[in-house]
Amino acid sequence: MPQVEPGPDSRRPTIRDVAAQAGVSIGTASKALNGQGKLRDETRARVAAAARELGFAPNVLARALLAGRTYSVGLITTDSFGRFSIPVMLGAEDALGAGQISVFMCDTRDDPARERQYLDMLISRRVDGLIVTGRRIEPRSSISTPPGIPVVYAMTQSLDTDEPAILPDDYGGGMLAARHFLAAGRRRPGHITGPARFLAARKRASGYCEAIAQAGGHFSPAEVLYGEWSERWGREGAHILIGANPGVDAIFCGSDQIARGVSDTLRLLGHRVPHDIALIGFDNWEPMALGAEPPLTSVDMCLEDVGRTAAEHLLAAINDAPTHGVQIVPSRLVIRESSDPQLQSRSAARRSDRGPAMPPEQGGPDESGVAMPGSEQNATGDDG
């Protein structure tokens, strides 16, 4: 690295340097760079040139100190940035980044002491607002912030029902699943889901039951099989369900993991999916849903939208137009082979769920001591 020796001007150039270079005062330079005040075009150009030449970037700290706002927000999650908070975070970051707002991320690991500590830190940093996300939609105790710092809850909510919270539509997701089954002529539905102590599980079940009832179908809330959020429970639940209700022709699962387990057991028991039994999962967790055989139809909670919406509410609050109460973001159903015999029959022709077909690579000459074929495939796949 050449720049180990900091050189004469390791200090980042300030507006003072720009002003000197352009032969104007500091105030004039500021006005020129920000398009303020009355200046000759020639002067503006000169300052701009100087700034470019020096690689000047205004010190956001100084600006924030003066303006009284930092154009930054804190994002607190209790979830170790798990599967649910990530998309929320991404959506929020997206919406905020467009407004030139930066995000401090804080992972409390569900530890109140850490939460306290992060909160103090964020307050010291004078963030303009706070987004709180979690992995469960159950109301949590309100986060204590000093007045003037707005808070929005995303994928969780406060016990204080007046505080703004953005939630996915678990209830509506359950309805989507039920209606999809009903539209396909399925009349013997089942439901295998997570623990009943999860509000999300109860809401999904509730929406499912309600939609079936509205259509004149029969499925009692008492028939819902609550268990845990695991493939193992999916396998077990499928055995229980088939045993209790051999004619079942449609199973809605509370998560894609459960659905994977169910799918596994159905195949073992000789039931064809979707022909004999249609299957719908929840979360649209692609590695899970696409990896299943056949790929899973699944309810997508649109968590990025949840995050984006939360960010928009926060921006509104920062601009003195706070919102109140819970807002629900609609879910959508992503239809794949596990629920649709027609898709299923076509699936043989398709090679990949995303992108064009590609032949598997075969072994070839070695490179670096390891055998490897020429990498003559296309480069769409990019997980690894």
Partner DNA sequence: TACCCTAAGGAATAGGTTTTCTCTAGTAAG
Partner DNA sequence: CTTACTAGAGAAAACCTATTCCTTAGGGTA
- For the chain, the residue count is 384
Does 45 sit near DNA (CB under 7 A)? no
Nearest distance from C-beta of residue 42 to its own copies, angstroms: 27
CA–CA separation, 350 vs 328, rounded Å?
36
Q: Which does 191 bind (CB under 5 to 8 A by kind): its own copies, DNA, none?
A: none
Binds its own copies by CB under 8 A, chosen from 233, 248, 297, 313: 233
CB of 135 closer than 8 Å to CB of 200: no
Binds its own copies by CB under 8 A, chosen from 4, 321, 348, 357: 4
Q: Which residues pair with 83 in a beta bridge?
A: none
Give 160-179 as a DSSP string: STTS-EEEE-HHHHHHHHHH
User: Given the complex with DNA, which of 26 and 316 has the nearer CB atom?
Assistant: 26
CA–CA separation, 69 vs 60, rounded Å?
10
Nearest distance from C-beta of residue 65 to DNA, angstroms: 4
Side chain identity at residue 305, one-letter code: D
Binds DNA by CB under 7 A, chosen from 20, 43, 206, 223: 43
Does 136 sit near its own copies (CB under 8 A)? yes
Does 225 sit near DNA (CB under 7 A)? no
Does 89 sit near its own copies (CB under 8 A)? yes
CA–CA separation, 150 vs 130, rounded Å?
6
Interface residues for its own copies in 16-45 (CB under 8 A)?
none
Does 354 sit near DNA (CB under 7 A)? no
Cα dist from 289 to 279, 280, 284, whole Å = 11, 10, 6
Peptide bond into 359 cis (omega under 30): no
Instruction: Tell me the site size for its own copies, rule CB under 8 A.
Output: 116
Q: Closest Cα to residue 160, out of 172, 171, 145, 148?
A: 145
CB of 153 closer than 8 Å to CB of 314: no
Does 111 sit near its own copies (CB under 8 A)? no
Does 246 sit near its own copies (CB under 8 A)? no
Does 26 sit near DNA (CB under 7 A)? yes
Interface residues for its own copies in 185-224 (CB under 8 A)?
194-203, 205-206, 209-210, 220-224
